[in-house]
């Protein structure tokens, strides 16, 4: 949560920072702010900040421009303190000559703040982050170092040694014009290396239009930047290793293009993103799949006797489909652990248990902590990640990328279908080493290849789905019901609906209805049944009848040809036929479109739903 970007170079910093913030706004949009300085050590730092969306800051900058070639900026997802102007970053120290932006949480901020206040420091915000600005400023003012750049670095280091919690920071001081110091622990930070200009940002997407040469900092790295140079040490002052990577996506990929919202664009990208997830990974002559990044020998894969899949939100729903897939195709006992629970739960894991963490961003703090906990116990933890170069991608013991391209809409869409596709490949790979027949393996490979065309067909129904959404805009709440492979799909459908349209929705295993949930059924509470023609289709029809008998409106998502449902359900959405175990990939798409059209019709901010942020990097 929160996005930060810093710039030092020859160009005007403000437009670059604003553009970077626009690209980072998905990380938080409660407030935004920038601080810039020009080349003179006498000139004070100019700070502009505003609560609310980035446009408010833009307006302020039109009224009160800020010029300079070096600056820092921030878009906030509020943790400590309401989204007010005062709580917006950057924060200053007592002298007003130091400015700092922070992404993360300073857990011991209250104790530190009390001490600082006793020493006469006056705080202007309720944030934990302002404490860092004062700590750095305090150390800077107390230092005897005569070189202002060195002095700032030492001060940052001293301050960071006092804090507990997570941080990605960038700081600058009016005494050291054209000089930025950044550091990270638990929050992402990437350095962009341009010609005569340097960048620091929470996400490479913010700087990719300026440079494709990037260094993904590691925890405890501390970086110093001038327009022509950079150095990386760790916060203890020791030399740190780093690698310059080439960013593998274009700025256009991170734009909405002709679509009104990123979410819609990302829904419509799924024929390609699903293909990218399986491209080059299907081995026809073995009727199997290859996931080279796992870095496991066939013998090691054969020895796996239990699998744990860990993730949060949508990724945990994909993991649940993965559990069904792996147990069904490979017969390996598999469990899903919500990452935030796993990290503290201390579940027993034996030596042949393989742990996977699943994350679109590769930065979700709970998933990262779950990974580290697994590794701490000596397990090999593998990642299924979309963001190349993200912390999970770098720290995991191997894994596979989704190759979905940037997902910017806060609601996860294409990452879900790609995660399930990848888990299907894993299940086929493990299955073919055990009981899965050649015929069954070949059939699944064929069906995987057919998925993109089938997704295209579903997308053609977007208008039909919109018309359905328009009928139910007054819904008091919604139920999403599915069984077996589509129980997780139901959970995912409900999450999408809640998240972007703010309609209360809950997902359930359909047969659970009569164990309590049916009490919610009424004319104002539509039920969405995810019921392709599969082994539990008839059971789902009976449950649907029970809902209709109580006057509950029903939207059914079913397989083409199941026209009999048109007589019982109020609305029907068809998906092409597909094997039961791959059906969640297709069934998720009408659910994404349904929630999207609900949200648009209800005038909700689809790409930036209230209270949320794309990347949850705080606990
Ligand atoms: O980046 P991650 O996949 O680790 O994110 C996990 C969740 O925060 C994410 O899926 C969240 O639930 C989405 N907003 C759901 O649409």
Ligand 1 center to residue 132 CA distance, Å? Answer: 29
> Which of 438, 459, 480 is the endpoint of a domain?
459
Closest residue by Cα to residue 560 from 537, 532, 584, 541: 532
Cβ-based neighbours of 96, under 8 Å, separated by 6 or more: 44, 45
| Residues recorded for the chain | 619
Global pTM reads: 0.88
Same domain for 449 and 558? no
Cβ proximity of 382 and 399 under 8 Å: yes
93, 98, 103, 106 alpha-carbon torsion, rounded to 10°: -30
Question: How would residue 40 be classed by pLDDT, with cut points 50, 70 and 90?
Answer: low
Q: Check whether 44 has a pLDDT greater than 90.
A: no
Computed over every residue of the chain, the mean pLDDT equals: 95
Please state the rounded mean pLDDT for residues 129-153. 96
Question: pLDDT at position 97, please?
Answer: 94
pLDDT tens readout for residues 255-307: 889 999 999 999 999 999 999 999 999 999 999 999 989 999 999 999 999 99
Is 416 among the domain residues? Answer: yes
Ligand 1 center to residue 578 CA distance, Å? Answer: 26
Q: Is 124 exposed, middle or buried (0-12, 13-18, 19+ CB in 10 A)?
A: exposed
Question: How would residue 96 be classed by pLDDT, with cut points 50, 70 and 90?
Answer: very high
Ligand 1 center to residue 157 CA distance, Å? Answer: 33
Better-predicted residue by pLDDT, 42 or 88: 88
Angle between helices 13-24 and 54-63 (to 10 degrees): 170
Task: Give the residue, by CA position, lying nearest to ligand 1 atom 9.
Answer: 313
pLDDT above 90 covers what percent of the chain? 88
> Which of 435, 459, 483 is the endpoint of a domain?
459
Same domain for 229 and 361? no
Atom of ligand 1 nearest to the CA of 364: 4
- To the query of whether residue 2 is one of the catalytic residues in this protein, the response is yes
Atom of ligand 1 nearest to the CA of 612: 14
Task: Give the residue, by CA position, lying nearest to ligand 1 atom 14.
Answer: 411
Question: How would residue 347 be classed by pLDDT, with cut points 50, 70 and 90?
Answer: confident
Name the residue range of residue 397's domain: 255-459
- To the query of whether residue 457 is one of the catalytic residues in this protein, the response is no
Same domain for 383 and 478? no
Pocket test for ligand 1, best of 261, 364, 391, 599 (most atoms within 8 A of CB): 364
Atom of ligand 1 nearest to the CA of 616: 8
Question: pLDDT at position 255, please?
Answer: 85
Question: pLDDT at position 43, please?
Answer: 65
Give me the catalytic one of 2, 70, 224, 310.
2
Question: pLDDT at position 26, please?
Answer: 85
Q: What is the strand order of the sheet 334-338 is part of?
A: 334-338, 306-311, 353-359, 381-385, 399-401
Question: pLDDT at position 151, please?
Answer: 98
Task: Give the residue, by CA position, lying nearest to ligand 1 atom 12.
Answer: 313
Question: pLDDT at position 475, please?
Answer: 96
User: What CATH number should be reported for the domain holding residue 384?
Assistant: 3.40.50.10490
> What is the CB < 6 Å shell around ligand 1?
312-315, 359-361, 364, 367, 410-412, 495, 499, 615-616
Please state the rounded mean pLDDT for residues 210-215. 95
Number of structural domains found in the chain: 3
DSSP one-letter string for 261-283: SHHHHHHHTHHHHHHHHHTT-EE
Same domain for 410 and 537? no
Atom of ligand 1 nearest to the CA of 410: 14
Question: pLDDT at position 41, please?
Answer: 63
19, 25, 31, 33 alpha-carbon torsion, rounded to 10°: -30
pLDDT tens readout for residues 595-619: 999 999 999 999 989 888 887 877 7
Question: pLDDT at position 181, please?
Answer: 98
> Which of 213, 231, 247 is the endpoint of a domain?
247
pLDDT above 70 covers what percent of the chain? 99
Please state the rounded mean pLDDT for residues 356-371. 95
Ligand 1 center to residue 314 CA distance, Å? Answer: 5
* Both tokens assigned to 372: 């580290």
């Amino acid at each position: 949560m929160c996005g930060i970007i810093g710039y030092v170079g020859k160009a005007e910093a403000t437009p670059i920072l604003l553009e970077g913030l626009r690209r980072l706004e998905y990380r938080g949009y409660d407030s935004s702010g920038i601080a810039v300085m020009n080349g003179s050590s006498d000139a004070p730092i100019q700070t502009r900040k505003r609560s609310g969306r980035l446009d408010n800051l833009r307006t302020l900058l039109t009224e009160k421009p800020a010029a300079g070639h070096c600056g820092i900026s921030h878009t906030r997802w509020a943790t400590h303190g309401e989204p007010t102007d005062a709580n917006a970053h950057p924060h200053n120290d007592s002298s007003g000559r130091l400015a700092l932006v922070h992404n993360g949480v300073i857990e011991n901020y209250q104790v530190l703040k009390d001490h600082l206040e006793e020493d006469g420091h006056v705080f202007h915000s309720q944030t934990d982050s302002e404490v860092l600005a004062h700590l750095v400023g305090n150390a800077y003012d107390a230092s005897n170092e005569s070189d202002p750049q060195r002095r700032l670095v030492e001060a940052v280091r001293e301050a960071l040694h006092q804090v507990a919690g997570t941080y990605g920071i960038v700081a600058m001081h009016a005494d050291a014009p054209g000089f930025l110091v950044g550091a990270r622990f638990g929050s992402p930070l990437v350095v962009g290396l341009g010609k005569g200009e340097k960048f620091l940002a929470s996400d490479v997407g913010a700087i990719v239009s300026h440079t494709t040469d990037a260094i993904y900092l590691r925890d405890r790295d501390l970086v110093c930047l001038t327009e022509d140079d950079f150095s990386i040490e760790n916060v203890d002052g020791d030399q740190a290793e780093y690698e310059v990577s080439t960013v593998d996506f274009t700025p256009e990929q991170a734009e909405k293009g002709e679509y009104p919202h990123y979410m819609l664009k990302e829904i419509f990208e799924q024929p390609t993103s699903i293909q990218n997830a399986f491209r080059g990974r299907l081995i026809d002559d073995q009727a199997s799949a290859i996931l080279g990044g796992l870095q496991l020998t066939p013998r090691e894969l054969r020895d796996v006797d239990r699998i744990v899949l860990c993730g949060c939100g949508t990724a945990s729903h994909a993991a649940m489909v993965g559990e069904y897939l792996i147990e069904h195709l490979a017969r390996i006992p598999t469990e899903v652990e919500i990452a935030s629970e796993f990290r503290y739960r201390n579940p027993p894991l034996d030596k042949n248990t393989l742990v996977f963490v699943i994350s679109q961003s590769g930065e979700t703090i709970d998933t990262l902590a779950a990974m580290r906990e697994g590794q701490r116990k000596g397990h090999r933890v593998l990642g299924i990640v979309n963001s190349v170069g993200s912390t999970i991608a770098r720290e995991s013991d191997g894994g596979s990328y989704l190759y979905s391209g940037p997902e910017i809409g806060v609601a996860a869409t294409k990452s879900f279908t790609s995660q399930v596709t990848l888990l299907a490949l894993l299940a086929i790979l493990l299955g073919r080493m055990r009981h899965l027949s050649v015929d069954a393996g070949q059939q699944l490979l064929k069906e995987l290849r057919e998925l993109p065309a089938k997704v295209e067909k579903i997308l053609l129904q977007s208008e039909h789905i919109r018309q359905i959404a328009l009928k139910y805009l007054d819904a008091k709440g919604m139920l999403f019901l599915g069984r077996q492979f589509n129980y997780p799909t139901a959970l995912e459908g409900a999450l999408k609906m809640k998240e972007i349209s703010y309609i209360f929705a809950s997902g359930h295993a359909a047969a659970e209805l009569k164990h309590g949930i049916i009490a919610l059924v009424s004319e104002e509470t539509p039920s969405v049944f995810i019921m392709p023609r599969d082994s539990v289709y008839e059971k789902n029809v009976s449950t649907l009848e029970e809902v209709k008998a109580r006057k509950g409106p029903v939207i059914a998502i079913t397989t083409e040809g199941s026209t009999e449902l048109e007589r019982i359900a109020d609305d029907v959405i068809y998906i092409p036929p597909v094997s039961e175990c791959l059906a969640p990939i297709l069934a998720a798409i009408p659910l994404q479109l349904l929630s999207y059209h609900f949200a648009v019709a209800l005038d909700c901010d689809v790409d930036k739903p209230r209270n949320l942020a794309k990347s949850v990097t705080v606990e």
